[in-house]
């Protein structure tokens, strides 16, 4: 099991493929790096692909504290440097995107390009914070049973959740979320939901940037993605039809195509 100590915490990561360029994948809250599996499979014949689990997620260490945005940013920077990935193509979905924009602002020399998926550079709206605190209160004291369907509806479309042919996938992601380290996930959530806005600093990003958003993402809607694109000079927007927050799972082919066209438009053409 490959792992590395980065910023004082042991992070699990997966590495596949080889090439002159490296793609680093940083995943969404509540799940793990495997939601990028289809994209890694497609890219690994040309790129060195590295996908890691955030602290408190998957097979990474769950420390007693340190789940704020600064530590998550420092985890990613330390991992990139320790694995000699720089400059890399950084793909961040949701939490991974919060991290990605901070790397692009503070350590642009670490990046060749930035792909932001279903994410934002803005602070969390207060309404969302209140709803999250209620959800986590219920999870802490009553477990996941009462809220898992609500959480799944924020991550996926109804089409995906009710598709008879995809019920094994639905069950897998439910199991992964509900079997996670409850204390760590609650602390992690409090950390990312209390993050400060870095929206105004987006205009300073010079790294080539692609913004991808699920057309039906309620957690990080299209309007947020559009504001990000408008703020980053030269950024490109791709909307994934019939997908919600975890678009890499629901519409893996469309997401992979968007990444490949951005990284190597000549190849797709």
List of domains in the chain: 3-268 (3.40.50.1820)
Q: What are φ and ψ of residue 231, in 5° steps?
A: -90, -25
Per-residue pLDDT in tens (0 to 9) along the chain, 269 residues: 799 999 999 999 999 999 999 999 999 999 999 999 999 999 999 999 999 999 999 999 999 999 999 999 999 999 999 999 999 999 999 999 999 999 999 999 999 999 999 999 999 999 999 999 999 999 999 999 999 999 999 999 999 999 999 999 999 999 999 999 999 999 999 999 999 999 999 999 999 999 999 999 999 999 999 999 999 999 999 999 999 999 999 999 999 999 999 998 755 44
Contact (Cβ atoms closer than 8 angstroms) between residue 213 and residue 240: yes
Tell me the CA distances in angstroms from 207 to 10, 97, 114, one per residue in order: 29, 14, 7
pTM: 0.97
């Amino acid at each position: 099991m490959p792992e590395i100590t980065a910023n004082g915490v042991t992070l699990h990561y997966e590495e596949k493929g080889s090439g002159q360029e490296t793609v680093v994948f940083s995943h969404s809250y509540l799940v793990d790096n495997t939601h990028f599996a289809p994209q890694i499979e497609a890219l690994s014949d040309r790129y060195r692909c590295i996908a890691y689990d955030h602290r408190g997620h998957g097979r990474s260490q769950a420390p007693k504290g340190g789940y704020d945005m600064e530590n998550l940013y420092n985890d990613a920077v330390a991992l990139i440097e320790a694995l000699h990935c720089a400059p890399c193509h950084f793909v961040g979905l949701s939490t991974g995107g919060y991290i990605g924009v901070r790397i692009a602002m503070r350590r642009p020399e670490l990046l060749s390009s930035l792909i932001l998926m279903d994410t934002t550079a803005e602070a969390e709206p207060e309404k969302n914070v209140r709803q999250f605190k209620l959800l986590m209160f219920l999870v802490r004291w009553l477990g996941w049973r009462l809220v898992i369907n609500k959480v799944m509806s924020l991550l996926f479309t109804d089409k995906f959740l009710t598709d008879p042919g995809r019920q094994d996938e639905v069950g897998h992601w439910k199991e992964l979320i509900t079997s996670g380290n409850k204390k760590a996930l609650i602390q992690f959530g409090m950390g990312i939901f209390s993050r400060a806005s870095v929206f105004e600093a987006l205009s300073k990003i010079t790294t080539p940037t692609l913004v991808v958003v699920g057309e039906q993402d309620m957690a990080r809607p299209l309007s947020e993605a559009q504001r990000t694109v408008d703020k980053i000079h030269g950024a490109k927007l791709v909307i994934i039809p019939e997908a919600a927050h975890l678009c890499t799972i629901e519409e893996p082919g469309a997401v992979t195509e968007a990444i490949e066209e951005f990284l190597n438009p000549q190849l797709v053409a």
